[in-house]
Amino acid sequence: MSHPFHSTLRELVLDAAAQGRTLRPHGSGSKDFLAQQLAGAPLDMRGAQGVIAYEPSELYITAHGGTRVADIEALLAGRQQMLAFEPPLFGPGVTLGGMVASGLSGPRRMAAGSLRDFVLGVTVMDGQGRVLHFGGQVMKNVAGFDVSRLIAGSFGTLGLILDVTLKVLPLPQAEQTRVLELDDATALLRMREWGAQPLPISATCWHGGRLHVRLSGAQVALDAAAPLIGGEAVDAVEAAALWRSVRNHTHAFFDGDAPLWRVALPPTAPHLALDGDTLTEWNGLQRWLRSDTDADALRHVVGAMGGHATLFRGGRTVDRALGVFEPLKPEVMAVSQRLKHAFDPSGVFSPGRLYPEL
């Protein structure tokens, strides 16, 4: 859907391309910390806001990139629907475009899927100022390469995200959180065993010897699953606050100045024998680590397990030269560079945000 703001953007992009300048698209700026570098003239994408189409019975919503995610979630909640990947909101003003650009998912990710799984379509402006539509508003669509999902998580380096269509899902009929006292290694084993069974687990979080497990679904399913999980039921208000704090990084674990690493691991990866405090989510597949550990050593350990590590918040002590994001294999980097060039031939958009080479 076109918007008057798009012609302004087009002029800015064409001018920048012609004059060899760079632009850094941003929304509320809540994820500016997550960058190898922030370069380019800031380009506020909030010039186009608002929902374009919402069809509850079709399970999709389309909105301009500058729309606040909080507004979208409120609209969906009014129709008993949700963004099932529970995007982290690191501030009140997080925009749809910024959310998709970062590609981050929250506590429900292992049960529902990741952000990119819910992207049905995007409209982007490429580095030549062209407005391009990919995907659409239907669930099944295999015409052309899946560019919409390629844009998710590209941190604004491929193009400007003008509008996005997301699949939405019904809110669960009921939820219940249970808490168990378990050490790290036992919690990992327990989550793995649960994962192989048809249980309505929608989120897990282990920290400081306590494993919280959230169940979502029909009340009858929760009642049947609760004794299998064990532990004790957590008060609903307290539980909602806990999951919100994990999702939005307002949990006390995320306070302080120590570097925060995000480690993504295969399901059977063992306990990480590293110094520092850990908060484990996603049945053990996403682990947050507060640690001054040597980056190369960490990446070596994690890489050997088949995972990767992101220096999510650098604190004050860590050298960005080590790479905020896990370095890419040469053959993957070569394709990535050619993709970057395909979308942004003059290198206008957020140079170096992910890697110096992109």
Partner 1 sequence: MSASPQAHANTANSHSTAAAPTVVSRAALIAELARVLPADCLITDTGRLRAYECDGLMLMREMPLAVALPTTEAQVVAVLRTCHRLGVPVVPRGAGTGLSGGATPHKNGLVLSTARMNRIVSVDRLAQQAVVQPGVRNLAVSEAAAPHGLYYAPDPSSQIACSIGGNVAENSGGVHCLKYGLTVHNVLRVRMVTMAGDVMEVGSAAPDSPGYDLLAVTIGSEGLLGVITEVTVKLVPRPRVARCVLAAFDDVRRAGQAVADIIAAGIIPAGLEMMDQATTVAVEAFVHAGYPLDAAAILLCEADGTAEEVEDEIARVRALLDAAGTTEIRVSDGEAERLRFWAGRKAAFPAAGRISPDYYCMDGTIPRRKLADMLEAMNAMSDKYGLRCLNVFHAGDGNLHPLILFDSNDPDSLHRAEAFGVEILELSVALGGTITGEHGVGLEKINQMCVQFAPGELDMFHRVKAAFDPAGLMNPGKAVPTLHRCAEMGGMHVHHGELPHPDLPRF
The residues in 6-35 that bind partner 1, with binding defined as CB under 8 A, are: none
Identity of the residue, 244 or 308, whose beta carbon is nearer to partner 1 in the bound complex? 308
Minimum distance, C-beta of residue 245 to partner 1, in the bound complex (Å): 21
Residues whose CB falls within 8 Å of the CB of residue 300, separated by 6 or more in sequence, listed in order: none
Identity of the residue, 47 or 153, whose beta carbon is nearer to partner 1 in the bound complex? 153
Contact indicator for 83, 114 with CB cutoff of 8 Å: no
CA pair distance 135, 124, nearest whole angstrom: 11
Task: Print burial letters for 308-330: b (CB count within 10 Å at least 16), e (below 16).
Answer: bbebbbbeeebeeeebbbbebee
Candidate residues 18, 218, 233, 236; the one interacting with partner 1 per rule CB under 8 A? 218
Minimum distance, C-beta of residue 103 to partner 1, in the bound complex (Å): 7
Minimum distance, C-beta of residue 288 to partner 1, in the bound complex (Å): 14
Number of residues that bind partner 1 (CB under 8 A): 94
Residue listed under structure tokens 């993709």: 339
| Binding of partner 1 by 174 (CB under 8 A) | no
Q: Give, as ranges, the residues between 57 and 96 that touch partner 1 (CB under 8 A).
A: 57-59, 80-81
Minimum distance, C-beta of residue 256 to partner 1, in the bound complex (Å): 25
Q: Give ∠ CA 65-66-69 in degrees, rounded to 5.
A: 90
Identity of the residue, 110 or 289, whose beta carbon is nearer to partner 1 in the bound complex? 110
Candidate residues 11, 223, 275, 294; the one interacting with partner 1 per rule CB under 8 A? 223
Contact indicator for 199, 225 with CB cutoff of 8 Å: yes
Candidate residues 91, 92, 170, 208; the one interacting with partner 1 per rule CB under 8 A? 170
Minimum distance, C-beta of residue 147 to partner 1, in the bound complex (Å): 7
Contact indicator for 281, 211 with CB cutoff of 8 Å: no
Residue 190 in tokens = 């327990």
| Binding of partner 1 by 342 (CB under 8 A) | yes
Candidate residues 196, 237, 273, 304; the one interacting with partner 1 per rule CB under 8 A? 196
Interface map 285-304 toward partner 1 (x if CB under 8 A): xx------------------
| Binding of partner 1 by 145 (CB under 8 A) | yes
Minimum distance, C-beta of residue 195 to partner 1, in the bound complex (Å): 6
| Binding of partner 1 by 158 (CB under 8 A) | yes
Q: Give, as ranges, the residues between 315 and 334 that touch partner 1 (CB under 8 A).
A: 325-329, 331-334
CA pair distance 113, 105, nearest whole angstrom: 8
Q: Which one of the spans 23-31, 33-41, 130-138, 230-238 is the region binding partner 1 (CB under 8 A)?
A: 130-138
Residues whose CB falls within 8 Å of the CB of residue 342, separated by 6 or more in sequence, listed in order: none
Interface map 247-286 toward partner 1 (x if CB under 8 A): -----------------xxxxx-------------x--xx
Task: Print burial letters for 244-283: b (CB count within 10 Å at least 16), e (below 16).
Answer: eebbbbebebbeeebbbbbbbbeeebebbebebebbbbbb
Minimum distance, C-beta of residue 338 to partner 1, in the bound complex (Å): 4
CA pair distance 351, 354, nearest whole angstrom: 8
Contact indicator for 120, 164 with CB cutoff of 8 Å: no
Contact indicator for 216, 109 with CB cutoff of 8 Å: no
- For 101-136, give the DSSP string: HHT---TTHHHH--GGGGEEEEEEE-TTS-EEEEE-
Candidate residues 29, 93, 136, 276; the one interacting with partner 1 per rule CB under 8 A? 136
Residue 217 in tokens = 């679904």
Q: Which one of the spans 20-28, 178-186, 232-240, 340-348 is the region binding partner 1 (CB under 8 A)?
A: 340-348
Q: Which one of the spans 37-45, 128-136, 176-184, 231-239 is the region binding partner 1 (CB under 8 A)?
A: 128-136
| Binding of partner 1 by 169 (CB under 8 A) | yes
DSSP classification of residue 68: B
